[in-house]
Amino acid sequence: MVLHLYVDWLSQPCRAVGMLLMENNVEHQVHDVKIMSGETRTTDYKKVNPVGKVPAIVDDDFHLGESHTIMRYICASRNLPDHYYPNDIKQRARVDYWLDWHHMNLRFGSSRLIKANFFGPIHKFP
């Protein structure tokens, strides 16, 4: 069955999931969802991801959101090489550590900077 990937390519987490899939030749179908146009807030999209965020995947009848969770799932369900998400529990914990750190530190800070300096002037954000 083909994995369905819902993305807005302006989103760094979407690009991360897309790169993992493309780099490993995982069969998938991309569905472009425009955040700025409100497409993530539609009733139809909420059937894909009830929290209305991208990226999201649908694999058969299994729906999943959050980029790091999606990438972990892809690694496990598609038997990707061990160097992406190791089988060894201690090595895996180290990968989880850095994924969590990235999300709460680097990504959080940089996204605020980008929103203020790029999207703010374009969309007149405060």
Q: What is the pLDDT of residue 76?
A: 96
Q: What is the pTM of this model?
A: 0.85
Q: Give the pLDDT confidence score for residue 22 in this predicted structure.
A: 98
For domain 1-85, which CATH number applies: 3.40.50.300, 3.40.30.10, 3.30.70.141, 3.30.160.270? Answer: 3.40.30.10
Helices 67-77 & 12-23 angle (0-180, nearest 10): 10
Q: What is the pLDDT of residue 64?
A: 99
28-32 and 3-7 strand pairing? parallel
For 66-111, write each residue's pLDDT tens digit: 999 999 999 999 999 999 999 999 999 999 999 988 877 776 667 6
Any idea where the domains of the chain sit in the sequence?
Answer: 1-85, 86-126
Of residues 53 and 123, more confidently modeled: 53
In angstroms, what CA-CA distances link 72 with 66, 90, 96?
10, 15, 9
Q: Say yes or no to pLDDT of 126 above 60.
A: no
For the chain, percent of residues with pLDDT exceeding 70:
87
pLDDT reading at 122 higher than 80: no
pLDDT at 86: 96
State the Cα–Cα distance between residues 115 and 117, nearest whole angstrom.
6
| Mean pLDDT score across all residues of the chain | 91
Least confident of 19-23, 108-112, 119-123: 119-123
Sequence-distant (≥ 6) Cβ neighbours of residue 99 within 8 angstroms: 68
pLDDT given for residue 45 in this prediction: 98
